[in-house]
Chain A
Amino acid sequence: MTASSILTSVRTPLKTAIQGVAANTYDSVPESPIVPFAAIVPNTPYLEPSFLGKGNVKLKVNLVMTVGVAIYDNQSALDNIEKLVISILAAIPSGYEVGDISNPIPLNIGASEILACEIQLSTYYTQTN
């Protein structure tokens, strides 16, 4: 039996679940994201051991989903990011705790400016094999 990983058990399923609502999805930090996008990246603290025993490694995994849209004009950018966030919230699968969503702020990535916000997410992971 193949050993599990956080990538295959947590981040990729989350990315797959939101692929239908976000044009570009990433399960790790993208070097140059293409808007509109949603990127699943580690939060801090990232991994929290919180269960009894040492037989299995079980962890709480804290993630941030960074959501970004183009910022051609403020009003439409805010409207676009609100719609994208609401679509993503509806698509997040069960088993993931959904926390607060940060206020959208302009970010410079390379030569382009985007409007981005962060969705706090948590779930639990068990290492197998």
Chain B
Amino acid sequence: MATTVITGRDLSVTIATKNYNEQATSATLSGDVTIETYDTLYAKAYRSIDKQWTFDVEMLADWGAADSLCEALWTAAETAPNTTLAVSLTAVTGAVFAFNVLPIFPSVGGSSPDAQTVTLSFTVVGTPTETFS
């Protein structure tokens, strides 16, 4: 079997119907699984008791631009902080992950004279739904 390589160029991210590919330099969905360990008389036993998913995005800031993603996120976090935003993350054609996140405020500013960047760490509500084809 030939080695499969997929890269960040295969990724595609949509948050609340807005595509982030034009501004995003990194997008990562990761799950933190809590596993309890029990010492029994027979042997150790392990049990997965909880999962919390996180969606991290790094992007160039686009404040002031027409149809600004930063401004859309800010408005969502300000006006509807408890209303989830639908996210679609395509890892590569044939592997799509759909989930919901709560809006957060993007950071503002940066160091001179670099391009202003925004690092976002969204809390995923519930569990992602995967579509493999």
Which listed residue (A52, A56, A99) contacts B25, Cβ 8 A?
Answer: A52
B47 on interface, CB distance cutoff 8 Å: no
Interface size classification for chain B: 10 to 19
Q: Which residues of B contact A49 (CB under 8 A)?
A: 9
Q: Which residues of A contact B109 (CB under 8 A)?
A: none
A52 touches B24 (CB 8 A): yes
- Least Cβ distance of B122 to chain A in Å? 16
A97 touches B8 (CB 8 A): no
User: Which residues between 99 and 128 of chain B lie within 8 Å of chain A, taking CB atoms?
Assistant: 113-115
B55 on interface, CB distance cutoff 8 Å: no
B22 touches A126 (CB 8 A): yes
- Least Cβ distance of B63 to chain A in Å? 12
- Closest residue of chain A to B8, judged by CB? A52
Please measure, in the bound complex, the distance between the C-alpha atom of A122 and the C-alpha atom of B13, giving whole angstroms: 26
Q: Which residues of A contact B85 (CB under 8 A)?
A: none
A52 touches B20 (CB 8 A): yes
User: Which residues between 1 and 58 of chain B lie within 8 Å of chain A, taking CB atoms?
Assistant: 8-13, 20-27
Please measure, in the bound complex, the distance between the C-alpha atom of A108 and the C-alpha atom of B64, giving whole angstroms: 46
User: Can you name 28 A-B pairs with beta carbons within 8 Å?
Assistant: A50-B25, A51-B22, A51-B24, A51-B25, A52-B8, A52-B9, A52-B12, A52-B13, A52-B20, A52-B21, A52-B24, A52-B25, A52-B26, A53-B9, A53-B11, A53-B21, A53-B22, A54-B9, A55-B21, A56-B21, A56-B22, A58-B22, A97-B113, A97-B114, A98-B113, A99-B113, A124-B60, A124-B115
6 smallest CB-CB distances across A and B, nearest first, come from A53-B21, A52-B11, A98-B113, A52-B21, A52-B24, A54-B9
A-contacting residues of B (Cβ < 8 Å)? 8-13, 20-27, 60, 113-115
